[in-house]
Amino acid sequence: MSGSQVWLITGASSGFGTELAKAALKAGHKVIATSRNPVKAAESHPEIESLGGRWLELDVTSSDTKQKVYKAIREFGRIDVIINNAGYSILGSVEDMRVIKAALPYMRSQRSGTIVNITSIAGLTGYPSSGMYAASKFALEGLSESLSQELDSFNIRLLLVEPGAFRTKFLGASLSPAAGLTKDYEGTVLEDAIKAFHAANGKQPGDPVKAADRMIEVISGTGMGAGKMHLLRLPLGPDCMKHARDKIESLSKNLDEMEAIALSTDLLQP
């Protein structure tokens, strides 16, 4: 993939969104960086505009998302890459798919494009205290698997990015139930997991700048991403790789032990 492209990145005011916007701009692409508060985002990250990016006020949960995306695409004349990055920890994170709905007609008409859905290692394996977050990411993984097949006929690529623990503000922005922890769970694996997540904030081993660079390379087929553009998933971080392989091993063992039962359920042949 070569030449300057138009990238639309949701949740560009922090974390991976910011780093992806900067990396894409440095790679020579045009970037529509979205934020619920673009004035504040521009003040916090002046380098986005200095590198040539443009801020767009966008709340992906709002009903006017389509109209705003339509307008931005018409202004730039095309759309090549969508990165669905906006999300919250614990109580949210599945992007409202209005952004994809708005941009897909343009991608289909030009018979090209890339959609990047940022999920998480929690999209492959669930952890105590993260049930709602994992459920949303599992859902986004399944949606993306189906969407990738539906769009293949139009030469539109879908990439799932699955980060492990990276040093962003993600954990610090996590939400907890207003009622607090149910007393019965005190002293259990659930409370231990919550404490571990809080303790890990600001100490995550992953470098979001390096992660953004790797994403850009895999999206563009350059650097370490050369020859990888046919793959659906991009795991990021040694912790992600370990947990993913542990999940595969556990699933494989489960399948082996249940195989006889699974194969015993067909209708008997006459």
* Residues designated catalytic: 133
Q: Taken in order 215, 219, 220, 225, is the CA torsion positive or negative?
A: positive
Q: Are 118 and 83 in contact (CB under 8 A)?
A: yes
Interatomic CA distance for residues 108 and 94, integer angstroms: 23
